[in-house]
Every structure is written in structure tokens, then in C-alpha cells.
Amino acid sequence: MSHSTPSGGWDGPWYRVHTEQFEAAFLPNAGEDLGSVDNVDVFVDLKDGSRWSATIITLAQVEILMKRWAASGDAFGGRYFWCSDGLIVRDAGISNMTQVLTGLIETGEFTQILQRIED
């Protein structure tokens, strides 16, 4: 996996990360600690001009949601989790999520997992 350090910064509500392969625009909740982000929408622009999207969520957050739904009755009592463009990661944080995106690009799995946004 690439070891270059990505740069990032705020652009309104978006936290943008720039790497050698892509620019990712994350949409965390207002005031959320970037190291603790566990459920976030991201839009990724690749160097070839293509645009992609995903909802990145941690395994722990999926477990929390399913337990909540078990009590509320949603999702057949928390018996399943579904998200149309979901990517489940082990560890929270924008930095970790960026590393996962980088790894997906480097292994060629990126286009199989994220949802392409057509022009």
C-alpha cells in the first residue's frame, strides 16, 4: 500500500483529502472528531476524471445499529444491515478510511466496491 502522507482540510461541511491517486470529499457530522468518524458518506474523484461514492461504516457501528433495530423492530428486528453503496471497515477515522480507499485502488478492487457516479 502507498505510504505517502495524504493532505486534508475543510471545505465548508466537507473534509477533503488529497492523495497521489484521488481526492476524497468526506461529509462528517458537524463537530465530529475526524479520528472517530464511524459512519460517513464520501465522494471520490479519480485522476482519470471518474467520480465514485460510498457510505463507509465501521463494523462496530453496524453492530450498534443492528442492536438498536432489534429493539425498535426495524430491519426485521435487526436481523440484517443493508446499504446500497456501503463499505464496511474495521477501524474508525478519516485517516483509516483513506488508507482503505488507497488500498482498494492499488489492488484494483475500487471499481467493484464503490458506486460510479455518471455525468
Give the number of domains in the chain: 1
Lookup: cell for 85:
453503496
Cell of 4: 505517502
Nearest residue to 92 (alpha-carbon basis) of 45, 30, 28: 28
Amino acid found at 54:
A
Which cell goes with 42? 464520501
Nearest to 53 by CA among 75, 30, 81, 83: 83
- How much is the pLDDT for 5? 66
**Structural domain harbouring 36:** 7-56+85-117
pLDDT at 1: 53
pLDDT of 6 reads 75
Does a structural domain hold residue 1?
A: no
Is 80 within the bounds of a domain? no
Residue 12 lies in a domain: yes
Residue 16 in any domain: the answer is yes
What stretches in the chain show pLDDT beneath 70? Answer: 1-5
Please indicate, yes or no, whether the overall pTM of this predicted structure exceeds 0.85.
yes
